[in-house]
């Protein structure tokens, strides 16, 4: 390979490397923002807090997101993307309604360990009207898909009669806020969380 060819290869590789680095940095910003907004609330969380959490200057943060509202909107989008991806895998796996619900809850907890918590999408009041409508419509579509697990369970006899929409709101709210409720529990693991969920929620849903 000639020197000229080497220079061309370097120039072609550099933008890709920079792009990958930018994607990783953006994901790190979103993860920090979600954790801080969940912990403090949108109003109390600041761009300075978020930048400091990942050792960035404020100016570097504004390179990726023009303001806190845009960052929160991106956090909602990323959380819903993760939620939807998990739903799709569980749906593709088939099975009875209660089995699907268990697999979904387990996968959501595993995802939180790998990718951090999801932004609580029960509250999008701080977004502008267009952003809020997009998140609310997306959330409603995903909730309906999760409700189908309960409806299927009632139909196949694995889940007792219930109001799927209310149960879904309770389960999702509980799961997304677990990292806020239980951060100081000694030796906390997904297995312990699933056991607690099984005791408090799924056993109540399971049809005797």
Q: Tell me: the pLDDT tens digits for 133-163?
A: 999 999 999 999 999 999 999 999 999 898 9
Helix/strand/coil percent split, the chain, to 5 = 75, 0, 25
Please report which confidence band the pLDDT of residue 83 belongs to, taking 50, 70 and 90 as the band edges.
very high
Q: Which residues of 41-73 are buried (b: 16+ CB within 10 A; e: fewer)?
A: ebeebebebbbeeeebeeeebeebbeebeebbb
The domain of 167 spans 3-205
Q: What separation in angstroms does the CA of 76 have from each of 21, 24, 123, 200, 204? A: 22, 18, 10, 28, 30
Cβ neighbourhood burial of 83 (10 Å; 0-12, 13-18, 19+): buried
Contact (Cβ atoms closer than 8 angstroms) between residue 150 and residue 101: yes
pLDDT at position 150 is 94
pLDDT tens figures, 41-70: 899 999 999 999 999 998 989 999 999 999
- pTM for this prediction: 0.81
- Rounded to an integer, the average pLDDT of 18-27 is 83
Please report which confidence band the pLDDT of residue 80 belongs to, taking 50, 70 and 90 as the band edges.
very high
Q: Is the pLDDT of residue 92 over 90?
A: yes
CATH number of the domain to which 53 belongs: 1.10.357.10
Q: Into how many domains does the chain fold? A: 1
pLDDT at position 13 is 44
pLDDT at position 208 is 63
pLDDT tens figures, 168-201: 888 877 776 665 555 556 666 767 777 777 776 7
Q: What separation in angstroms does the CA of 129 have from each of 68, 133, 136? A: 15, 6, 10
């Amino acid at each position: 390979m000639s020197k000229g060819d080497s220079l061309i290869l370097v120039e072609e590789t550099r933008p890709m490397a920079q792009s990958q680095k930018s994607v990783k940095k953006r994901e790190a910003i979103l993860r920090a923002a979600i954790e801080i907004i969940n912990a403090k609330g949108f109003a109390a969380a600041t761009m300075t807090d978020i930048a400091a959490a990942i050792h960035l200057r404020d100016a570097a943060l504004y390179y990726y997101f023009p303001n806190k509202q845009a960052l929160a909107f991106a956090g909602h989008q990323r959380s819903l993307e993760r939620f939807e991806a998990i739903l799709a895998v569980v749906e593709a796996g088939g099975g009875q309604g209660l089995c699907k619900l268990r697999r979904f809850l387990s996968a959501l907890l595993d995802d939180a360990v790998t990718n951090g918590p999801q932004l609580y999408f029960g509250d999008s009041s701080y977004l502008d009207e267009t952003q809020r409508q997009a998140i609310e419509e997306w959330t409603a579509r995903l909730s309906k898909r999760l409700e189908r697990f309960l409806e299927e369970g009632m139909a196949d006899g694995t889940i007792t009669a219930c109001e799927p929409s209310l149960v879904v709101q309770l389960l999702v709210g509980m799961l997304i806020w677990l990292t806020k409720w239980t951060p100081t529990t000694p030796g906390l693991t997904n297995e312990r969380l699933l056991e607690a969920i099984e005791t408090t929620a799924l056993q109540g849903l399971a049809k005797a």
